[in-house]
Chain A
Amino acid sequence: MRIDHLSKFQDDPVSHLMDLENREVSVAALYDPDLYELEMERIFAKAWLLLGHDSEIPKVGDYVVRLMGEDQVIVARAADNQVHVSLNVCPHRAMHVCIADSGNTRVHKCIYHGWAFRPDGSFIGAPIEKEKMHGEIKSKEQLGLKQARVATLGGLVFATFNHDGPSLDDWLGEMKFYYEMLFCRTDNGLEVLGPPQRLTIDANWKTAGEQSACDGFHTLTLHGSLLEGGAMAGEENTEHESAPAMYGVNVSGNGHSLRCIPADTSWAMMAGKTHPGMTDDERLEMMPPPGITRELLPQVRRNLTAEQLHVFAKAPPVVGGMFPNVNILFVYAPLRDGTLGSALVLHSINPKGVDKFEWVTYFFTEKDASPEVKHMMRAAAAQLTGTSGIIEQDDSDTWPHMSEASRGFMGRTETLKYQAILGENRPADWPNKARVYSGFSKDDAQWNWWLAYHELMTSKA
């Protein structure tokens, strides 16, 4: 971008890329390096971003290094027992202060000249105190690591560099009602099964970002091998008519979204039988939602509200995302011994330049699940999702094609289309929370993702 074009671009970066009336986005949005820079500023420095889970850093001094946009941050438990998120950039001369992925220390000492910081990011001092090697121009209070705002939901750690923006609660809005069913449903909550998988995908981050907003449609074809194998209950030659998991309730708000799949559908798919006319309680007992075992149901009953329990029993949320860069899969995993396992998986999509992103995969379990269940879930998650997952290996092979297509001059004149519209329609017994789209999974929630993108990209400062 030439300098004289820059201010015009900043005033109006997306109107030439998004056709709001016709629900189309220019393929150039996957290609434009100036747009990418502006996304770092207006989205990744503004949004609440997922950085992990507090079970990764249980003890004072524990830390992990994570990404916010292209910035490394240190997520650490400080002496106050709170989680702090600090930019991993030394205020002295920009060296990374942490050079390992995780560890435990009460003092983060920069290896370049030795400036030292506490886990809460505050500056302790520079070596040779009497020589005042941090100078006398700035006070020690001014020389700490840059701090992000931190908030948690069910132990998931979120942070933002937007100190004046909305709270995490406001950011999630009414979608929090649904996320609580996934993250806040047992007494002791979730825990990670270990450090996340990380890999690089040669594609623009938005290819995975927009898919996370309930692209149910692609499962029929891109994940067709699972249909062929019967895992999504379609007959091969009539798959497009007879894939019941395509029918459900998509919920969406503030760009976030989840797909709720009716328990009756899951039974039909996994157990080959239906049980019409059951009460919520009977449904939960019959086939507890993914990640929940019968032993955990008393906890679920006391942690969720009556309204939440109704949704959870009738059509629990199973896949979806959080704007801008979280992908959620809390799904059943049919096991080879005929029983039903599950996998609880969160991904974050971390941009690494306009045509690369780092795909980070966390595996979860309920803390109170038995060791056997945890073991099963760890294997099931790796076999279904992430690096080698038989679901997601097809996604990670698709997104680079889209970025490659965006490099073509003519390719960039094409659009991404979100014109399959279901429209809001809330079933009579469904809580009045967020936007509700009941029926065949269409483009509504994905378009809402783009509207959230549009809103952030067009709001200056």
Chain B
Amino acid sequence: MTNPVVTQRLTKRYGSLTAVDALDLEVRAGEVYGFLGPNGAGKTTTLRMLLGLIKPTSGEVRLFGVPPGRPGHLARVGSLVEGPAFYPYLSGSDNLKAMARHARVGAGRIALVLDQVDLTGRARDRYASYSLGMKQRLGVAAALLKDPRLVVLDEPTNGLDPAGMADMRLLVRRLGAAGCTVLLSSHLMTEVQELCDRVGVISRGRLVAESTVAELRGDRTLRIVADPLEAAAGTARDLIGADAVSVRDGGLDLNVAPGRAPEINAALVRAGIAVHELTARERSLEQAFFDLTAPDPASTPPPPLTGLKTEQNYV
């Protein structure tokens, strides 16, 4: 079976800015895929290209094997990208009626999706009178009209209060449990950790890592507190290479498999160094995320506050 989402070297340039850079993305049927990246990383731009709203500068997109612009490209794909947008003078259900016509979906779906997002009680009120949370839920309802096999959600919890966030996450979990493929973009590690099977991390337009949540947390490190510290650092460098050793907070961080702990301990003791503490540490997902997306010090000035710029572009 063809994968719900496949991109090949997908690229979008705005003038000299490369918003999305040769992105190879693959989302498999039935999984909840987290598309994780800081503000301005290129998540929304990627999703817009998937949906055919903007044209790639180069590269390819296929949803269930169908490229944008072909009939049926979005036949069973629902989406909510960069916030909900509806006609302010129409009620929630009239908005959905119009969208259902465009989707060539029977009006019977409307009551169903309103119920799914828990908006039935306010469906007859004008969209303009909705709170942000209700607008967001109507956006999800519109995404569900086609009874989609793939749902694309772009930071769906943005701007919601804690209860709204919890509702939205429950909805994503339910979609996943029902066998729907979900592509969820987010800048929140906790959200992705909580909801997703697999994660792709995007930073400055590039996919810098792709794995399961557990793998991404990944690299384990050794933490050593010893005396004298300088001598300990020297011994460790001789043993595992200078790159893998860093001095921090009165101790050493060794980027090495924890299985080598006895060997390192023995070497330190042989060198007459007192080892006070030797622990295996798991990197938090948060740390992994920062490491992956932190601006590369070698590359010239990192774009400051890209996120802010993005917000302004779409106000």
Is chain B a partner of chain A in the same complex? no
